[in-house]
Structure 1
Amino acid sequence: MVRCLRTDACRGLTTAEADRRRDRFGPNALPRPGTAGPVVRLFRQVRDPLVYVLLVAGVVTLAFGESVDAGVIFGVVVLNTIIGFVEESKAESALDALRKMVRAKARTLREGREWTIAAEDLVPGDVVLVEAGDQVPADMRVIRAADLHVDESALTGESAPVIKEHPALPEPTVVADRRNMLHSGTLVTAGSGAAVAVATGAATELGKIYLLLGAAEKLATPLTRKLAWFSKVLTVAILALAVMTFGIGVARGQGAVEMFTAAVALAVGAIPEGLPAAVTITLAIGVGRMARRRAVIRRLPAVETLGSTTVIGSDKTGTLTENQMTVQCVWTPDGRFDVTGSGYSPDGEVVGRPRSEALRWCLLAGAGCNDAALAQRDGRPIAVGDPTEAAMLVVAHKADLELHGAELTRVATIPFTSDRQYMATLHEMPDGDGRVVLAKGAVERLLVLCGSEMASDGTHRPIDRRAALVAADELARTGLRVLATAMKPVAAQDGLVEKSMPGTLVLTGLQAMFDPPRGHAADAVRACREAGIKVTMITGDHAGTATSIARRIGLLGAGAHAETLTGAELAALPEREWPAAVDRASVFARVSPEQKLRLVKAFQARGHVVAMTGDGVNDAPALRQADIGVAMGLSGTEVAKEAADMVLTDDDFATIEAAVEEGRGAFDNLTKFIVWTLPTNMAEGLVILAAIVVGSALPILPTQILWINMTTAVALGLMLAFEPKEAGSMQRPPRDPGTPLLTGALVQRILLVSVLLVGGSWWLFEWAQATGATLPEARTAAVNFFVAVEVAYLFSCRSLNRSIWSIGVLGNRWVVGGVTVQAAGQLAITYLPVFNSLFHTAPISMHLWSLVLGLSLLAWLVIAADKRLRRHFDQAAPAGPRSSTTSVGPPAE
């Protein structure tokens, strides 16, 4: 490698050569892609049919001189535009966070001298020196290593630091297995070494992820796709009805100006002005509810997307697991002891706290022969150094052993290397009575160094290597990482000599550890499955480790080997076989960032709505491509957080299950609002059309239509956004992504209510005039009838399937408050002179009021009967799809 790059391993490059290479390869930085300017991004937000409908409504309303109502409508457009502009601007932050990962310093050799330069100035061929605590500034081939450990979890998903060496490896070796390479953006946790830079900037593995992240497509959510389709259909229908109204009126000999006014009135009535505000407010309330359950939403539509999720692709390390190595049990020659607690918290104990000298020395060896430390960050314990060594410190604390202080003082060290496979340290005994050698390492290697083993009373006896190997194999088969510990008393004047180690140590025991599953992970996985959501593990970690965790949390059953696929196996699969593979497997291990991205796309190609979780840089492209990306707030990198739609403040997979429940509730409430508001809009338009067809006066005027639409949307409809989640929402399957916004049953209910509104208001309008009421009084009665039916229908829409009595009439205090406000408004528009003048209304008699309320009650009874009949038929119908059911919505893709 040194020869290929024409560099000197001892002297590095010359300054002149470094300058030439920098001119050739460019700076060691990730490029900033060209982006649309702010003006272009601002106008991009209004390219939506729903916004077009709003603009038309605003213009029409303004044409009638209703500046206040027009201002409200235009205000909604401006608000939605600003929100979209801000969210699109945030998308660039993920790329900025990645670019920052390579902004560091680097120690390099040039012309035989050590220089500290900006990482941006590194070039291929530079010899770089690294030590514990350094961030790797480029992709580099190791040429010297001394106990060099690198944390690559953010890049590969590997849960433990990787030992780096300098042997040659086959060219197709995957990134996670390249023991002779250091990769840009990773962190050196122990040891030191030297490496020669082989790739900089966008050519690094980090750069490849950056390019993947930039290319990942941010898909529209199911809600935005359905609303876009709905808006197009609504726009065409409104224009068609308006043209029909104008044409029929002119054909009947009525004036063109009058008919144009009627057509505009129909359009005003048919446009659901409150829908965009309802969408925004309902989702915003969902955001607040999720935040209280430790899920922070970064994009509003993500609330609804969670409710539509059919597949969750979860990272393992830090998501399903604690990302904190934990000693689970300790084996000694005379017994096995379980350890409680998890992670780096000292809470827990060695069960029974037995008086065993072998156990005591096993724990002392693990903690004394140790370079890690424990610290606090944001009130929680973290490891400084190797997580495996940190786990050994924690278990010693759980046994109340004093470490690194008065009990043992280190005087010499034999560091761990991949060839040596063990570490040994020499310590002064606290009473000055000699010294002691402590050692830990791979079981097979340490057993060679041991000539005896320690009994529980502290005596030494001949070693039973077979018993130790059998115990280690049993622990390893359960997915635990096993290390052996040993000790040797030596004289006060003796030093630490490696050649004298074989056959002289005393085996004290084995410590078995792993990164434990999170406490509620298994329950959350089970709840997701009961909700019809497929949960998969997608990780860069080893297949054995991933499979072990998957079995512990219920992702895999016993012996389900066929349900685990590795990155190598995926790479060997033809493209056409990927869909079948993603359906078959539950665990994908040792996968690369590109494969994670392809897996998300494969699920989406099968029609799934995908939620992807992760915390590392390697997860960012998949997080961005997924329908909803979920990042970890505590352990996640800034890159992952910026690429995600939602951030979990507790890093717990169980929080995703809670967020899915809230998402389903938010979509249910939004559907309830649409089902509630559309009959009114449809009926208002049809009343105008009917009046034109029969040549009658308009039963309601455009200004009165605006009063109905704007006041009821705010005072009544938006109260449905506060409706509590219905019981059983997590026991039903997720919505099919191809299912329309409104099912056939809901469309039929909307038509039924529309007919009741049209028939009741028309009859009331005509009867009032026939019995002596003036035209303003008759129109006032019709307006109040519309609102009264909306109030009655509002209580029915609190549940689309269950009766109002089963969920409680007063179960939503916001609805009760909204009805009270709306009732006050109706009294004002009916009896206050200023409102009579503005809206062309007039006070009505108690007789008309009794008709208004009586007809409204009748309408409510019809709606309740229809709901009950449908519920009865649904319960009696056999399971399975009903081909006769019609639906309204975008075609399934």
Structure 2
Amino acid sequence: MLTDGGAADVTGSPTEKAILSWGLKIGMDFNDVRSKSSVLHVFPFNSEKKRGGVAVQSDTGVHIHWKGAAELVLSSCKSWLSLDGSVQPMGAQKRNEYKKSIEDMAKSSLRCVAFAYCQCDIEKIPKEDIADWKLPEEDLTLLGIVGIKDPCRPGVRSAVQLCKNAGVKVRMVTGDNIETAKAIALECGILDANGVISEPFVIEGKAFREMSEIARGEIADKITVMGRSSPNDKLLLVQALKRKGHVVAVTGDGTNDAPALHEADIGLAMGMSGTEVAKESSDIIILDDDFTSVVKVVRWGRSVYANIQKFIQFQLTVNVAALVINVIAAVSSGDVPLNAVELLWVNLIMDTLGALALATEPPTDNLMKRQPVGRREPLVTNIMWRNLFVQAIYQIAILLIFNFSGKKILRLQNESPDNAEKMKNTFIFNTFVFCQIFNEFNARKPEERNVFKGVTKNHLFMGIVCVTTVFQILIVEFLGKFFKIVRLNWSLWLVSVAIGVVSWPLAYLGKFIPVPVRPLQAYFKPCWKSSRRDEEEGRQG
């Protein structure tokens, strides 16, 4: 199509655009050809047959033209068109020459497309129901074979390497020739040049689909590249991997990819080249059709998961400490150091401000060095339990000491009993809040010793910590009547802050404590199973 400026505007799929652009460069006049011919019937490209066809009528008669996978179109050819325009029979030697050319181009990561045609008697064309006409696809004459380069986008190789470092195995499932697929996979870093490049690591779709379900399950883990595959092969691979317990993400853009996108745990459709059916079947749409964006998806997904874990660790620490302190105090003395209004303020810090502060932590490079989290792995890890117990035990021990001996330690004997009790409880409340404020920094990095790395870049986190501190000062100094507390002198303020600061070196030292690989919850499973068994036996008895 010519634009107003005279330049050709090439439209269609990437493969069609490449072929048409090549045709324009060698001087083909498409408008002239179209004016002298008419299209009778079109057979759209079929992912199963790997070819598409069209029936064209012109002054010289009706011709059926085919375009598709080079080796498959070649197998249907019985003759070839020479440079002088004469049709020559396709002998064994000539066929092998073409096969060798296809293999050479494929090894150079070129996508091979062949063109062929055959003549058709006009009498054989159905007068009615031409839409159901099956175009002749045998006894073709080969017109030519082209190699199309589909270069890797910048950054794809490094993105694949990032996925490998993150424990994510990248597999290529393509309709291209197996040699082309291998060459592209080597170019992208999906295959290692020093590794094994043969079955079952590299396999054709036909061989995979003809296997039994058990056999597919046995080799699914090993498959890295699948060539000449159909959309159903992609679906079979997804199902085999899911049966083995893997979390599977699939990218796709065609309507035929919809079943695999829907079946996968995470379906990623291409926003620019993807069909509406593919987008509707997917969970995420990649707007720029770039594989590097898939890495961003993994990165942000892990960040969200890690931020949830940070908040849970922080929240559990607060709740465990507050619960134990109040229960022990209530049982032993009949009074609690943290009243209902104070606990509401603490919950506001934890549930709202704390969640907001920790949920806004940006992704870090360290996230892409972790191994993936399995389907059945607990949300609260052993590392989180260790950090939780270290901080909770410290807070419980310190605050209970002040609850029972605070008047003596804080030298409040000269105060009236009622005022001394209020000052002690105010000090416990203030110290408890500052322990949480400083522990919020520890929650940022559950596995790293340096909890301050990048903290100043998270302006929202710093802002929330500052706002919480200011509100705590206002509550203690000016809202004592509402919270049933009293003002503290500067020395008690310093002691409260100092006790809170101790949580930093304590968290640093606590991370030297080794944790078992087996999840903590797993130790309680035998007890839970035995109790369930006893209940069932009791019902049967």
Structure 1 residue 599 corresponds to structure 2 residue 237 = yes
1:537 matched to 2:172? The reply is: yes
Determine if contact 1:550/1:556 at 8 Å carries over to the other structure.
yes
**Structure 1 residue 670: Cα displacement:** 1.9
Letter in 2 for 1:383: T
Question: Where does residue 847 of structure 1 map in the other structure?
Answer: 491
Equivalence for 2:46: none
User: Residue 584 of structure 1: CA displacement?
Assistant: 1.9
| Alignment-mate amino acid for residue 390 of structure 1 | K
**2:483 maps to amino acid:** F
Shift of 1:785: 0.9
Residue 562 of structure 1 aligns to a residue whose secondary structure is coil
Asked if 1:800 corresponds to 2:446, the answer is yes
Distance 2:2 2:342 in 1: 70
Distance in 2, matches of 1:712 and 1:680, equals: 8
- Per-residue CA shift, 1:541-596, capped at 9, x if unaligned? 66566455444433345642432344543443333333212112123455565554
SS in 2 for 1:807: coil
Structure 2 SS opposite 1:734: coil
Rounded to whole Å, the distance in 1 between the matches of 2:228 and 2:26 is: 38
Question: Relative to 1, partners in 2 of residues 1:549 and 1:414: Cα closer, same or farther, differing over 3 Å?
Answer: farther
**CA separation in 2, counterparts of 1:577 and 1:394?**
44
- The TM-score with structure 1 as length reference comes to 0.45
Q: Quick one: which of 177, 183, 189 aligns to 1:554?
A: 189
Whether the aligned pair in 2 keeps the contact of 1:530 and 1:730 (CA below 8 Å) is: yes
Alignment of 1:226-375 (within 5 A): 373=1
Residue 422 of structure 1, CA deviation? 11
- What stretches of structure 2 of length at least 5 have no aligned partner? 44-52, 60-64, 68-72, 87-92, 117-141, 527-541
Take 1:471 and 1:573, find their aligned partners in 2: how far apart are those partners?
31
State the identity %.
28
In structure 2, what is the equivalent of residue 526 of structure 1?
A: 161
> Secondary structure of the equivalent of 2:456?
coil
TM superposition score normalised by structure 2: 0.71
Relative distance call for 1:673 and 1:563 in structure 2 (3 A) is same
Structure with more contact order per residue of length (Cα contacts < 8 Å, sep ≥ 6): 1
Distance 2:244 2:103 in 1: 41
For residues 28-427 of structure 1, what are the structure 2 equivalents within 5 Å? Answer: 373=1, 383-384=11-12, 390-395=17-22, 399=25, 403-404=29-30, 412=36
- After the TM superposition, which residues 507-526 of structure 1 pair with which residues of structure 2 at under 5 Å, given as runs? 511-513=146-148, 516-526=151-161
Which residue number in structure 2 is paired with residue 887 of structure 1? 520
Which amino acid counterpart does residue 105 of structure 2 have in structure 1?
L
Which runs of structure 2 are paired with 1:492-891 in the superposition (5 Å)?
Answer: 511-513=146-148, 516-539=151-174, 546-547=181-182, 549-556=184-191, 559-589=197-227, 596-770=234-408, 771=412, 772=415, 773-804=419-450, 807-808=453-454, 810-832=456-478, 835-867=479-511, 869-870=512-513, 886-888=519-521
2 CA distance for matches of 1:827 and 1:666? 32
Distance 1:727 1:550, change over 3 A: closer
In 2, Cα distance between equivalents of 1:884 and 1:550: 35
Tell me if the contact between 1:798 and 1:804 (Cα under 8 Å) persists in the aligned partners.
no
Aligned counterpart in structure 2 of residue 450 of structure 1, from 73, 83, 106: 83
Name the CA shift for 1:391/1:423 in 2 (closer, same or farther; >3 Å).
farther
Question: Partners in 1 of 2:503 and 2:66 — Cα distance?
Answer: 81
Instruction: Measure, in 1, the Cα distance between the counterparts of 2:399 and 2:354.
Output: 20
- For residues 685-704 of structure 1, the C-alpha deviation after alignment (integer angstroms, 9 at most, x for no partner) is 10122113313410111221
How far apart, in 2, do the equivalents of 1:448 and 1:597 lie? 40
CA deviation profile, 1:609-650 (whole Å, cap 9, x unmatched) = 111222223222332232211111112222221222111101
Is residue 455–residue 462 contact of structure 2 (8 Å, CA) maintained in 1?
Answer: no
Separation of aligned partners in 2, 1:404 and 1:714: 65
Matched residue SS, 2:190: coil
Residue 450 of structure 1 aligns with an amino acid whose one-letter code is L
Answer whether contact 1:475 1:482 (CA < 8 A) is retained: no
Q: Report if the CA contact (8 A) 2:165-2:369 is conserved.
A: yes
Distance in structure 2 (CA, Å) of the matches to 1:541 and 1:465: 23
Does the 8 Å CA contact 1:743/1:888 hold for their aligned counterparts? Answer: no
- Structure 2: how far apart are the matches of 1:846 and 1:388? 76
Cα distance in 2 for residues equivalent to 1:693 and 1:396: 89
Considering fraction of residues, name the structure with more helix: 2
Q: Secondary structure at the match of 1:623?
A: helix
Instruction: Name the CA distance, whole Å, in 1 between partners of 2:227 and 2:317.
Output: 52
Consecutive unaligned residues in structure 1, runs of 5 or more: 1-372, 428-438, 454-463, 486-506, 874-881
Three-state SS of the structure 1 residue aligned to 2:445 is coil
Amino acid at match of 2:443: C
The amino acid of 1:624's aligned partner reads: H
Residues 523/572 of structure 1: CA separation in 2 closer, same or farther (3 Å cut):
same
- The offset of 1:757, in angstroms, is 1.4
Looking at structure 1, the residues matched to 191 and 460 of structure 2 have their Cα atoms a distance apart, in angstroms, of 45
Given that residues 543 and 589 in structure 1 are in contact (C-alpha distance below 8 angstroms), is that contact kept between their aligned partners in structure 2? yes
